[in-house]
Structure 1
Amino acid sequence: MINGRKYSSLRDDYWGPSDEQQFETLNAGHVLYLVLDSNQPNPLFRSPVKSPLYVLDIGTGPGTWAIDVADQFPAATVYGVDLSPPPSTWVPPNCFLQVDDVLEEWTWREEFDLIHMRLMLGAFTDTEWASVYKKCFDHLRSGGYIEQIELDVRVMSDDGSLAPDSLLAGWGQTFLDCARRAGRPLDTQLTMKAKIEAAGFVDVQEHLYKCPIGAWPKDPLLKDAGRINLNHWSSGLEGWAMFLLTRWGAPEPWTADEARVYVARVRDELKKRRLHIWHYTRRVWGRKP
């Protein structure tokens, strides 16, 4: 337990907590992307994988995505792996949630049809990312797919409703700078496509989402997504901020109380209905030849 939040005991350099509040945040993110892709043939993934036999979810968190895939494909074996045990007390019989570090040697013997990652920004150094993508490539069957979804931590608006000197306007750069000092960049959504291609994947495609924060859009689907995303951000702010600010804040590491006050002020800004704010999220998928 550090500054009131629980973290994995396997690694002391990863910013993400592993507690109920963080799992609530991850579940909200899961629902957000289901809503944003509700017009797709399969909202769970865009890779053209019709009847997978073996699926791996890296950074599974509470296991929600892995459980949904296992439910949808009862003939598949689905593994979810994370640094900390998930809270799920029940999973489908074809779903296995495991505690492991994917930087270590992989022990799965199966050739996967699909390997999925989501919201892994800041988890690895550039060298570690290259290693993870190579392991994904080596453990996929020929014709199998990798798919990754990452958000942009910068908050934006198109209509000037977000003041340039507001805390929200500076939020993204604050944490991009913290992560740069930590050596684990948060700009994964900008770099993952090129790194996936460098690992040997082909036919690599991407889709860029503008994710509203708040129920301000007129479009019903985006209004629903924005309402969910506001909850996603409100519950996630402290977990996203605490580790990075207290370890890598500038001009020197912040105290936990300073971080909490900052988060509370940012959360207050989020609630302002006049703000028409959004962030990017990018989805990338590619095939092993």
Structure 2
Amino acid sequence: MCVFGCDLSPIQPAYVWDNVFFSAGDFEEDWTDYPENAFDFIHMRYTAFSIKDLEALLHRVMKHLRPGGYVEFQEMTYWPRADDATLTDTTPYAFRDFCYYTQLGLANLGLDLHMIGRIPAALRSSRYEDVTEVRHKLPIGRWAKDRRQRQKGIWFLRMILMEGLSAISKRPLGQGLGWKDAQIEMFLVDVRKSLNDSGVHSYFPFTIVYGRKPFEGSAGTDTATQ
């Protein structure tokens, strides 16, 4: 078995296993470096919002999967919600404002922050079979009582949001909305404060969507798992 990884930038580690290979490239361009009908499994994580032409991408994936091979997307729905009254439609919450402005900025750049919601229907219309959705909840911060969920929330808060917030903001807020760097950083002060508020029991829905390339003459089914 071999594993091939692709990223826009050559940021991969210097040491990898003998059966692991990395390359730099754009998955929305033709996959000329890879043979058709060759892969058993194609996986994409945290990339759905960067897709400009979903139908073309799914067609490209179909060409390079073996019959019976699977494609899988893992993505969050980037809109915080809560299952209790700690976050309602009228609750002041700067991180929700951040998600709103990020959505607007990406839309101005021709991108859909909530692309994951379109993928199941697009898979079906692109002739993938056994299209399945698996939904989870990813806590934002330390509030979860369950130990494992709390660890996930702390990791997500520290590694993704707190340390990467400035970098995440530059394209949607800077390029998409035209904000200056100083304006972005001032805005992020309140965003970081809201993220550290354990009194708000917010989470992101996390969705796994996968589908199978048909075998010849097969008739697939669709399922959805909450």
How would you bin the TM-score normalised by the shorter chain?
Answer: 0.7 to 0.9
RCO (CA 8 Å, sep 6+): is it higher in 1 or 2?
A: 2
Match of 2:176 in 1: 248
Q: Identity over aligned residues, as a percent?
A: 28
- Picking from 107, 132, 135, the partner of 2:60 is 135
Question: Match of 2:35, as an amino acid?
Answer: R
SS at match of 1:157: coil
- 2:142, 2:150 within 8 Å by CA — same for their partners in 1? yes
Deviation of the 1:88 alpha carbon = 0.6
Q: Name the structure 1 match of 2:26.
A: 101
Q: Report deviation, 1:242.
A: 1.2
Task: Confirm or deny: 8 A CA contact 1:154 1:171 kept in the other structure.
Answer: no
CA shift for structure 1 position 236: 2.6
1:155-193: per-residue Cα shift (whole Å, max 9, x none)?
A: 122223236232123222222222222111111121111
Partner of 2:147: 220
**Which stretches in structure 2 are left out of the alignment for 5+ residues?**
215-226
Q: State the distance in 2 between where 1:260 and 1:196 align.
A: 39
When structure 1 is superposed on structure 2, of 255-264 and 160-169 the one drifting more is: 160-169
Could you say what secondary structure the match of 1:257 adopts?
helix
Match of 2:7 in 1: 82
- C-alpha distance in structure 2 between counterparts of 1:147 and 1:257, whole Å: 39
Letter in 2 for 1:273: S
The structural deviation recorded for 1:215 is: 2.2
For the aligned residues, what is the CA RMSD? 1.5
1:277 corresponds to 2:202:
yes
Partner of residue 223, structure 2: none
Residue equivalent to 2:217: none
Residue deviations 1:192-212, cap 9 Å, x none? 111122222100001111110
CA displacement, residues 44-103 of structure 1 (integer Å, 9 cap, x when unaligned): xxxxxxxxxxxxxxxxxxxxxxxxxxxxxxxx1111011100241111110111011222
Letter in 2 for 1:242: K
Work out whether 1:117 is the aligned partner of 2:47: no
Task: Find out whether 1:184 has 2:105 as its counterpart.
Answer: no
Deviation string 1:201-238 (CA, Å, 9 cap, x unpaired) is 10000111111012211122212211212122212322
1:146 corresponds, among 56, 71, 74, to 71
- Deviation (angstroms), 1:257: 1.2
What is residue 268 of structure 1 aligned with on the other side? 193
Q: Is 2:120 aligned against 1:193?
A: yes
Aligned to 2:220: none
**Residues 12 and 22 in structure 2, CA contact (< 8 A), matched pair in contact too:** no
Q: Deviations over 1:93-147 (max 9, x none)?
A: 101110112222212026100000000133122xx22111111011000010000
Q: 2:16 is matched with which residue?
A: 91
Larger Cα Rg: Structure 1 or Structure 2? 2
TM-score, reference length from structure 1: 0.69
Matched, 1:233 2:161: yes
Q: Runs (4+) of structure 1 moved beyond 6 Å?
A: none
State the match for 1:58 in structure 2. none
SS of residue matched to 1:192: helix
Tell me if structure 1 keeps the 8 A contact 2:76–2:204.
yes
1:153 and 1:171 in contact (8 A); partners too: no
What is the number of residues matched between the two proteins? 209
* Conserved? CA contact 1:86–1:97, under 8 Å: no
Give the Cα–Cα distance (whole angstroms) in 1 for the partners of residues 199 and 29 of structure 2: 47
